[in-house]
Amino acid sequence: NEYKSYLRMPEIGSYMAQSITPLDDLTKALASPDNEDHVAAVMEDYIMTLQKKFCDELAAVDGSDFRIDRWERPTGGGGVSCVLQDSKVFEKAGVNISVVHGILSKPAIQQMKSRGKDIFGEEVRFKAMGISSVIHPVNPHIPTTHFNYRYFEIPGVEGREKVWWFGGGSDLTPNFLNHDDAKHFHRTLKEACDTHNLEYYPKFKKWCDEYFYIKHRQERRGIGGIFFDDMDSLPPMEIFNFVKSCGDSVIPSYMPLVKEHLNDTYTEEEEKWKRLRRGRYVEFNLVYDRGTKFGLYTENARIESILMSLPLTANWEYMNEPGEREWELIKVLRDPVDWV
């Protein structure tokens, strides 16, 4: 039974903060597969549970507590932002969830129509939820990671069916190329994908390499991972189960890399290169990232949470000349490698 794991009451202490949907309503929707809000409830419960698990792992390594902000959006919904900033291990580590609803802005409607979405009417209501995390470590030898898993729906109106889809992905952005790290990260993602469909990993790995392309630099943001969007061709709970497998792979794909390089020594030159690479991260997120754009287009969006992905420090240096180790990374960013 594909619903078996989700017919439950949320456990006390399994979230970083109170759920965005009132707990009684969330529990009722979780308990009934026939409830029209069941899929949304399952996703909200999962992202809040994953947020708690990942924050606990990061805090245990860092020795610091997350700042937890539960916020409300004036026009519907809210979120929970958990951030470690300027701490021992992490320069900035953010793990955010949002569960919002309301009326789509015109720019957001145009963006979705450009992707082939059948959106009807002048005033389009929506519900969106997701978890988004970016981890920028202090040590240049610990790679930055990002993951995002989301669910979006537009209620059916005037006899039309509900429009819905899942999206997400996970990727790695090192400052220096470490083949063992790259292989471990990609192998863990591949195992998560292969459980559902052997075609998913190669397809979504390629999509990731294409999506995180910084056109004006002619290089990728990092060494990739997986990326998918507009996933709606299977029953929603079947796709959710795939999304859950991907989300469950976050901790085993990344935390071993943090622990492996936790005590690596580094030079001022390596620190300087890290800040230059962080500049590339900023360029992609502000110029190309679809999620950032959607957030900025959304009325009454919480800008602090949207821009949480940006590093605490980043540099832009005129005509920087990379060394041999730095070029080893750049070559892979320009010509992606099949790691597994």
pLDDT digits (tens, 9 = 90+) for 30-89: 999 988 899 999 999 999 999 999 999 999 999 999 999 999 998 899 999 999 999 999
For 299-309, write each residue's pLDDT tens digit: 777 889 889 99
Mean pLDDT rounded to a whole number for the chain: 91
Is 6's pLDDT higher than 50? no
pTM metric for this prediction: 0.92
Q: What mean pLDDT is predicted for residues 3-8?
A: 45
pLDDT at 10 (0 to 100): 60
Q: What is the 3-state secondary structure (H, E, C) of 72-111?
A: ECCCCEEEEEEEEECCCCEEEEEEEEEEEEEECCHHHHHH
Dump pLDDT digits (tens) for 262-279.
Answer: 999 999 999 999 999 999
| pLDDT tens-digit readout, 88-116 | 999 999 999 999 998 876 766 666 666 76
Per-residue confidence (pLDDT) for residue 11, from 0 to 100: 62
State what percent of residues in the chain have pLDDT above 70.
90
Q: 4 pLDDT exceeds 50? A: no
234-249 pLDDT, tens per residue?
999 999 999 999 999 9
Q: How far is CA 204 from the centre of its chain?
A: 14
- Confidence bin at 158 (pLDDT 50/70/90): low
Confidence of residue 121 (pLDDT cuts 50, 70, 90): low
Q: How far is CA 296 from CA 97, 123, 172, 228, 301, in A?
A: 16, 19, 24, 21, 7
Confidence check: pLDDT of 327 > 50: yes
pLDDT band at residue 298 under the 50/70/90 scheme: confident
188 or 5, which is more confident? Answer: 188
Q: What is the mean pLDDT of residues 332-339?
A: 98
Provide the pLDDT for residue 295. Answer: 81
Q: What is the pLDDT of residue 79?
A: 95
pLDDT band at 2 (very low <50, low <70, confident <90, very high): very low
Give the residue numbers marked as catalytic.
Answer: 146
